[in-house]
Every structure is written in C-alpha cells, then in structure tokens.
Structure 1
Amino acid sequence: MTSPATDRAPRRAYVVWLIALVAYAVAVFHRGSLGVAGIEAQERFSAGASAISLFLVLQLVVYAGLQVPVGVALDRFGSRRMIVAGAATMAVGQLVLALAHDVPTAVLARVLVGAGDAMTFISVLRLVPLWFPGRTVPVITQLTGLLGQFGQIVAAYPLVALLHSAGWTPTFVGAAAVGVLVGVLVLVTLTDAPPGTAVPVPAGLAEVRSNLVATWREPGTRIGLFTHLVTQFSGTVFALLWGFPFLTTGQGMSAGGAATLLTLLVVVGMGFGPLVGRLVGRWPLRRSDLVFGILAITATIWTVVLLWPGRAPLWLLVVLVVVLGTNGPGSMIGFDFARTENPVERSGSASGLVNVGGFLASLLTVLAIGFVLDVLTPGSSTDYSLDAFRAAFAVQYVFWAIGLVGVLTHRRQLRARMARDGVVIAPLVVAARARLRGGSAYRPRDDG
C-alpha cells in the first residue's frame, strides 16, 4: 500500500498503471479510427462533410454527456469495472461500424464508441492517486494522457495501411477484436487500489446529488473545466477528424506526409507532458499562467497559417503541429485543479465535470467546421478548397474566447476563496503539503 509518506510507488503500482494505460491507448485508437478514414467513410456511406462530422459530433456528445454519470458510477463501482465496460462497449461499436452500409447504422456505431470511451479515461486517472505518492501524481497523470496517444499513432499508420489493403469490414472487425482482448486483460489483471485501502461506502441518491452540487460549486472544478476547454479542443479536432483532410486536400500533402505530421503531434505531446507535470507540481499557483501561454501560442500559430498566402510551407505546418502537441498536456492541468480542490471521494465526479469542457468545445467545433465546408463547397464534393478550410478553422476563435473568459472568471473566484480560507498567507506550503498527502488541498468549509 502507498502511504502519504512514501516517496516511491511499489512495483505493483507501475504494473497496474501500465495495464490501465494500454486500455486508454486502445480507447484513443477507437476514438481516432474514423478521423483517418474520413474520406473512405464519405465514399462508403455516400455522405458529405456535415454527415461525417455528425458521426464524430454524436460520438463526442455521448462522451461529454456521460462524463458526469460515469464519474458518479466510477466513485461507486471503481476503475476496473468501468474500464471493462468501456472496452466491451467500444468493441461492439467497432463491430457495428464494420458491418454498416448506411449513415444511421454508422452513427449508432460511433455513439457506442463514444459511450465506451467516456468510461475509460477518468477511470484510469482515478487509479493514479490511489497507487502513487502525491509528489509523483501530476507527472504520472501527464504521462497517462500522453502515452495513451500511442493509440492515435496506431490509427494513423497500421489502421490506414490495413484499410487500404484489406478494406473497410476486415479493418474494423480487427479493431473490435482488439477491444475485446483489452477488456479481458483488464478484467483478469487490474486491481482498483493497493491491498488494505479503505473502500468508501457507496453514496445514496441524495448524497450523490449533494456531492455533485458541492463539486460544481467548487471554483477549482469550474476553472478545471474551462482550462480543459480552452486548451484541448484545437488539437483534438485536428487529430480526430479535420487535420488529415486539411493537410491532404487543403495543403496538398500526401497521405503519408499527413500521417507523419499527426504522429509528430503525438510525439511532441509526449515530450511536453512530463515538463508540464513538473512545472505544475513545482509552482501550483502558476498553473493558469501555463494555460494562458499555451492558448496564446496556439491562437497565434493558427492565425499565421490561416492568413498565409496560398498553401503554407512545410516548415510552418510542422510548427503548427508542434504547437498543437502542447494542447493535450495543457488540458491535463484542468484535472489537477479539480484534484487538488476536491476531496478524494468526489474525484470521479470532479474529473468527469472537467472532461466535459474540452470535448463539448471539440464536438461543437467539429460540427461547425463541417457545416462551413459544406456551405462553401458545391454539391456533395469532398474537394474542399484551401479558402474553405481557412473559413472553417476560423470558428476556433469563438471557443478560445469563451474558454479564456471562463478561466479568468473562475481563477478570480478561486483566489478569492483561497484568500477567505487564509491560504494566501502560505500558499506554496499548503499546495506542497497537498501533493505530499496524495492530492487534495480540500478542507471542509461553509460556502454559505
């Protein structure tokens, strides 16, 4: 068992984490599988950009909409059961997609994928503070989010290669089989917590409602949500659906070149994530400054790319992808806000609320981009012009503005509450002690 005073996690903690990490990577693979097959999907289902956007939008609607119910269920049933349920649901979704020949069936398939995906990430995150000592939690959390993106690499290379060689049905049947194997692995080997860990008594319905209200009223939860929103959606939209067509159809790159850039996005995130984790752990009261920096550089590089006369040079597209690689690590800061400002027994619901932010913005952006592309492209053609892509990707500025206002507003509220609690007198000591305890700076208080 890992105690608060323990400096090192037991070897078993890393085994548990790696198993959960594999499950999350497979969930990312399922999530991104349609993005790299977007053009093939349009041809198979005779659908335009808006219809293909609808596939992903409904998938993300389900993902975002289930975050709170899944968070509540996670606090009650634990990570192992939720991860297994998620793997099974995604496997069924991929099997349905493999056999689908019409848009409604394909939409149902992606809804199932979204439902299973919703059960996975926050379930994996919940394991981290239970198995690892507090000072390592921010770094392990970052590594979880980033190493899980290997699933996107599998979607960008092996899945595309299999799709082109074997065809639609064998490819997605194979994806379903991978989901089944992962579910069995988790069921057989994963443990929710170290031996001897006290298991909280499941909350009743009235207590669940009370906890949800208290979690939402906590400014740390709300700044976490808007942090996740403002930093996550641009990279997610690019990686999941519209980046590949933007690079190939809009910028004239080859499919292999576009896949390489999408892989670079993941690799950059993996390198940047541990740095963010260390910075967050060292300067916890400067987390929002990191968020503002990532937002500023993301909006700036997109502005340069969208205003560039003609097709952007390769070096500029590389810079764009490198910057987008910082978005994933930036969004993980939102979970750190929720973790340190809520009690452990509300960690699942707090993480679920935070996770709504980025995916809500992502699904709205995906839908808006598809709508603009269809409006500016005649008929059912998928030959989108560069100008159409420029107009479509400009919708991102709306969500950056919303997220920025949200972070600023709730940062002010959080700091006001900390001042009332006397935390400002010795903030670094309080935050450091919170991390050494295993995660939460929460103290019961009367919010009046």
Structure 2
Amino acid sequence: MTHSSKQHLRRTQWTIFGLVIVAYMLSFFHRVAPAALSTDLQASFSATSAQLGIIAAVFFFVIMLMQIPTGIMADTLGSRKILGFGCAVAAAGCFVFASAHNVLLASIGRGLIGFGAAIPFVALLRLNASWFAATQFATLSGLTILFGNLGAILSTSPLEILSHTIGWRPIIAVSGILTALIGTLIIWFVRDKPADYGLPSPDGAANYNSDIHKKIPWQNQLSTVIRNRDTWPCFWVGFGICGTFFTFTSLWGVPYLMQTLGISKQQAAAHILVMIFCHSLTALFLGRASDRMENRKGLLLCLATLYVVMWIPMLAGLHVFTGASFLIFALQGIGSTSYTLIWAIAKEVNPVQSAGMAIGVTNTSMFLAAAILQPVIGFIIDRNPTNGMLFGVGLLTVVSVFGLIYGLKLVETYGHNIYAKRFNK
C-alpha cells in the first residue's frame, strides 16, 4: 500500500466513522431522554409509573427485536442502506412522539424511534470490522461507546435544563430533523467496504471483505452463531450488566434519587450524568487496554464485580454513605463498562464472516432486559409507592449478579478469533 493510498484510506475511514457515530449519538440521546423528562412525560400524558415504564420500554422492546435482523442485514445488504432507512424511520418517530397527546401515540412514536435507533450500533461495528484492522476492534468499540454516551450525557442535565426553557416537544422535533439530515449524509458518503471506494483493505480486515463468505447463506451463518455455546455467556452478561445499566440510567435513576435522597430533578440528573460520563470515558481506555493486553475475560470480570458491589449502597438508599452519592455513581459507571468487551468476545468466538450477526445476537440481550425491567419496576412502584423504588433496585441487583455469574463462563480469546481453532474448522 502506497503512502498516498494509506492517507486516503485513513481519511475515508474516519469520515465514515464520524458520520455514523453521530447517528449513534442521536440513538443514545433518545435511549436516556425519558429519565430527564420523566416528570414532564407523566404530566403531559397523565401517565402512571407503569405507563411511563411502557413508553420507555417500547423503545427497548423494538430495538431488541431488531438486533438480529440488523446483524443479518448488515452482513448481507450492507450497513449504508440500512443506516439510511433507519434514520428516516427514527426521524418520523421523533415527529410522532413530539406531537403525541396520549400514551398510545407516545408509545408508537417511541417504537419508531427505537426501530431506527436499533441500526447504528451494529451497522457501525460491522463497518469497523470492514474498514479497520482487526487488532483495533475493541479500541474502536470503546471509542464508539465514548461518543455514543456523549449523546446520553446531552439527555441528562442539559436536556433537563433545556426542557424547562423551551419544553420537551420542540427538542424531540429538532432531533428528528437532525436525524433525517445525518441519514442523508450517510447515504451520500458512506460505503460498506474500502473496495467500494477503490481502496485496499487494512491489514487484518481482508477476511471480512472476502467474496467467498458471501456464498454462505445468512440462515446458515445465523444458525452457526446461535448454536455456538460460546455465544451465550456473552448474551447473558449483556442481559445482566448492560440491561440493568440501561434500565437505571434511561428511566428509573432520576426518580430513585429524588425519592431516596429528596433532591431536585436537576441534581438527580447530574448524578446520572456523572455515571454515564465515567462509563463512557472508561470504555475508551478499557477497549484500548484489552487490545494491548490481549485480555478480555479478566478485565470484564474485575469491572463487573465492581458494578455489582456498587448496588449495595443503592439498596441502603444511599443514606449509609451520606455525601458520597456522586462517588458511588462514578464507581458504578466505571464498573458498568465491563459489558463492552462482550462484543469483541462474541465476534472472536464466531466465524469472521458472521461478525454482524454475532454482535446482533449478543446485543439483543441488553434491550430485552431493559424492555422487561422498565415496566416491571414501574408496576412495583405503583403497587408499593413507599418502598417500591428500593424493591426495584433490589431486582436490578439480583439480575446484575446473574450477569456476573455468567461472566465466569466466558471464553478468553486473547484478542484473536479462535472459532476455527476451537471447533477445528
């Protein structure tokens, strides 16, 4: 590869990454927004806690249903087409949600947003696998989480403050316009692999672009991923660790703090901001450290243990650790990044041509957990207004422990694809 072609490849790599990461940031914004807007949404739709949980959970339920189809489409149709379509659907959902005046229409709007928001992450990881060297994958996953969580940070304190100034409906409508714009830019500039721009593949990425893999029917590839026993520990770690993190930060974290500590919504949103900020920053360094150390499982287990332990002061209502609430949220944010390594593991324990499907299957677990837990906790709160919030945190603790236990069953890949060697393929 000549010096000029290397420079051209690098510019194109990061242009594509930058465009798609904006779409991912917008999906993260919508994922967490109900937490900062919880009281506004309840007032606008006259919703109970259970109904609020349903409005938030519809987003996760649709994303969950879309993960495997998105992985299949990313591996067969290519990321560019499905990203453009997803942005269009998400933009339409924003306009429906912003104009809704009852729980049903709000849920439909959130569902459409969820449909579109399901696509950027899997599509981006698939693009990363094609455009970057294999040894950069975990680092890029960490960088993806860092930027994605900047969107989540915008939907904490900044969103809470702005919603008091102009209201939540104009904010959601403007986000729809931005989503439509970025979708147009993606269709214009993004290509699925370097060859589409007449560029050489980076070292380590050639396997993802090989034409021979396109001859394998997607049904066979998906069956291989699902029947692979090494895929499922990744799935259940995602369910237990990431699913509880999503449930707490995207809806019930703010009400929990307002009820247990008696603080304002703005102060509570600041706690969630700290948790997400620490999560995103740690994810960046974790991915890089994992690639350099060639260690996946050990790092994951250390951080997952920290995450689980940090539920203990939450169960005590944080009163035992008066004044340390921000520290607890920071540590739990750091520990929560453990799950970000399961994408690399899932990719490395499955055939290289099935990267999108492996990530899609694994990702399903996170959104499945949030889709179940958000309305269940809302139901618990409605049935027991006094202690329901603490009971909900207890449920999150149990599910987190479940995820940690499955972390012990993960296969250490040492940063390399081990499918062929492990199964003698």
Q: Which of 324, 328, 331 matches 2:339?
A: 331
Q: Equivalents in 2 of 1:184, 1:21: separation in Å?
A: 14
Q: Following the alignment from structure 1 to structure 2, what is the Cα–Cα distance between the partners of residues 79 and 43?
A: 39
Displacement of 1:158: 4.0
* Alpha carbons of structure 1 residues 162 and 342: separation in structure 2 relative to 1, 3 Å: same
5 Å matches for 1:34-45?
34-45=34-45
Contact conserved, 1:8 with 1:133, CA < 8 A, in 2?
A: no
Matching residue of 2:61: 61
Contact 1:27–1:117 at 8 Å: present in 2 too?
Answer: yes
Q: What whole-Å deviation, never above 9, does each CA across 1:358-389 have from its counterpart, x for those lacking one?
A: 22222222122211111112xxxxxxx4x332
Amino acid at match of 1:188: W
Does residue 1:247 correspond to 2:224, yes or no? no
Decide whether the 8 Å contact of 2:305 with 2:335 is kept in 1.
no
Match of 1:278 in 2: 288
Q: How many Å apart are 1:447 and its aligned residue?
A: 7.9
- Code of the residue aligned with 1:355 in structure 2: it is N
Instruction: Answer yes or no: is the 8 Å Cα contact 1:146–1:328 preserved in 2.
Output: no
Contact conserved, 1:251 with 1:312, CA < 8 A, in 2?
A: no
Superposed displacement of residue 166, structure 1: 2.1
TM-score (structure 1 length as normaliser): 0.84
Q: Distance in 2 between matches of 1:104 and 1:166?
A: 24
1:345 to 342, 349, 353: 353
Q: 2:423 and 2:267 mapped to 1: Cα distance?
A: 56
Structure 1 residues 128, 327: CA separation in 2 closer, same or farther (over 3 Å shift)?
Answer: farther
Give 2:419's aligned residue.
442
Deviations 1:212-260 (CA, angstroms, capped at 9, x unpaired): 1111122332222123223212321222111111122332222332232
1:95–1:173 contact (8 Å) kept in structure 2: yes
SS in 1 for 2:156: helix
1:294 paired with 2:271, answer: no
1:141, distance to aligned residue in structure 2 (A): 1.2
Q: Counterparts of 1:91 and 1:260 in 2: how far apart (Å)?
A: 28
1:8-407 equivalences under 5 Å are 10-195=10-195, 196=198, 198=209, 200=211, 207-284=217-294, 286-308=295-317, 310=319, 313-315=322-324, 317-377=325-385, 385=386, 387-407=387-407
* CA distance in 2: counterparts of 1:313 and 1:83, whole angstroms: 46
Distance 1:153 1:108 in 2: 25
> Residue 290 of structure 1 aligns to which amino acid in structure 2?
L
* Structure 1 pair 146–220 and aligned structure 2 pair: CA distance change class (3 A): farther
CA gap of 1:401–1:239, structure 2 versus 1, over 3 A, is closer
Q: Alignment length, in residue pairs?
A: 412
State the shift of 1:140 in Å: 1.3
Structure 1: segments with no counterpart, 5+ residues: 378-384, 416-426, 435-439
Change (3 A) 1:180 1:199: farther
Give the residue type in structure 2 aligned to 1:319.
Answer: L
Unaligned residue ranges in structure 2 (runs of 5+)? 202-208
Residue 300 of structure 1 aligns with an amino acid whose one-letter code is: V
Aligned to 2:205: none
In 2: Cα distance, 1:445 partner to 1:7 partner? 37
CA–CA distance in structure 2, aligned partners of residues 297 and 108 of structure 1 = 37
The residue identity in structure 1 corresponding to 2:74 is L
Q: Matches of 1:191 and 1:118 in 2, distance apart? A: 19
Instruction: Mark the CA change 1:166 to 1:78 in structure 2 (over 3 Å): closer, same or farther.
Output: same
Q: Is the 8 A contact 1:235 1:324 kept in 2?
A: no
Cα pair 2:128 2:137 within 8 Å, conserved:
yes
Cα displacement (A) at 1:12 = 2.2
CA–CA separation in structure 2 for the residues paired with 1:311 and 1:48: 30
**2: CA distance between counterparts of 1:329 and 1:66?**
23
Q: 1:309 to 1:149 in 2, by over 3 A?
A: closer
Q: Distance in 1 between matches of 2:335 and 2:78?
A: 29
Counterparts of 1:407-446 in structure 2, within 5 Å, are: 407-408=407-408, 410-411=409-410, 414=411, 431=414, 434=416, 440-443=417-420
Amino acid at match of 2:368: L
Q: TM-score, normalised by structure 2?
A: 0.88
Q: CA RMSD in A?
A: 2.8
Cα deviation for residue 58 of structure 1 reads: 2.0
Alpha-carbon distance in 2 for matches of 1:397, 1:249: 18
Code of the residue aligned with 1:210 in structure 2: it is N
